[in-house]
Amino acid sequence: GKEIREKIPGKYGLGVNTGELSAEDLKALHESGFNSAYHTLHLGEGIDTIFKPMFRLRTMSNIRDSDLNLTCGIDPIGIEHTDEEIASTLMILRDYEPMSICSMKRINPKGTPVESIPEVDATRVAQIAAVIRFASGGNVASVPPNKKAIEWGANSTTIGTGSNPRDSVHDPSTIGDWRFDFEDVKQMFLDCGYDI
């Protein structure tokens, strides 16, 4: 965090997305310049993943009780996730008083158990973003950037690259690239009536 702050001056939020964190870890992250941490109870946690929900929730409590803001999400949304499962997860997340909750679709990479399952469409992600906005009254992100979700209540998004495959996963030359840059997303928000 300190290195980023030194190399890129200005007033901006700096968030981290990492594994389980102790109070000491969070203190060190805050002191190095981070403002927020993303951590969530994933849909299907403990069933579709090897992670125990209690560890996720403990880290979310640690973040909430630290100097960092908690961000979390309804994540990763697949076509098999029911309205009831999504609503139940949303109610749990709300209890941790996050700064924001995202509506994040699952990308289904080749070579994984979900490769043959169709991905949710932009309308489903937007619908869930709208429900999050009504239920939480707070900040809602759409991941990946989704104009319909912004029109329906999302007020932020994430632009990123990384080891987690994005929606270009089937094109090996662009793995990790959402094919959006800052100017594209800024224009999307302006087109939806936001002041930037």
For the chain, the structural domain boundaries read 2-191
- Using one digit for the tens of pLDDT, what is the confidence trace for 126-183? 999 999 999 998 899 998 888 999 999 999 988 765 545 454 544 555 545 556 677 8
- Measure the CA–CA gap between 60 and 94, rounded to whole angstroms: 11
- Measure the CA–CA gap between 150 and 189, rounded to whole angstroms: 7
CATH topology for 2-191 is TIM Barrel (3.20.20)
Which alpha helices (DSSP H) does 23-167 contain, by range?
A: 23-31, 53-64, 83-94, 122-136, 147-151
Specify the range with the lowest mean pLDDT, choosing from 47-51, 61-65, 72-76, 132-136.
47-51
